[in-house]
Structure 1
């Protein structure tokens, strides 16, 4: 993706699903009005911290990403309603979800693919609007007691 993408400040939707992007450029932070970012083919290993500048972002779908790091700046995505992320399941250190993400009060759908942990991290109870939690592509051994405190949860997928 060319760095000039950041010059499209009025862009509302970006779909790069047909491209196997090796990374998302930091210039993505310039897309201030972006509401939907879909990159099914992206193989990004990390999200740039500038992702936190996308204050209007409602949908972030990167299911094929090979993430090793989710920057804490994702906690600034307060308009986010849907989050679908892939991770590098071969990495020595598994992907961790930063605590800043547990404050995404509008998040309704969470699908962390290939996430590995003994249990969901403390703080998931902060996702008060979460309706769908899809752990079907994760290796989670136990589900935190905090899940009982999710008043909007209607669908839980576990395999």
Structure 2
């Protein structure tokens, strides 16, 4: 998958040649559910505890970095590219980000409820206690590969789908 993308988009790879291979969530079911939201176009953002990147030995992503999103079995399905990143505590998430993350009913209230549960669970599994003051990586992304699922890219500005746009 990466070789095909690299051949088709050498300029994007030259700017950001690194990539990670990951899946959404912490279970096979959640990985598949969230990937389905990405495939449908509903999900164009994600959030992760900065501590989780450190626990895996991964660097925090940067604008332009790529990641290969896998399904729950570990099969690569899509290549995503980071288009917006920020760090902040739990309370800095807003309605627009909750909507772009594409989960549940798209509201900030459900985003907060479900992410409290999720981060409490994954932190406990790693022997930590989660706090709303912990640093979170808020990321917006675009789907860049395969072409059948890639977001439309503006040729004027070279930018991906604007998060929150129809």
Using the size of structure 1 for normalisation, the TM-score is 0.22
TM-score by length of 2: 0.22
Higher share of residues assigned helix: 2
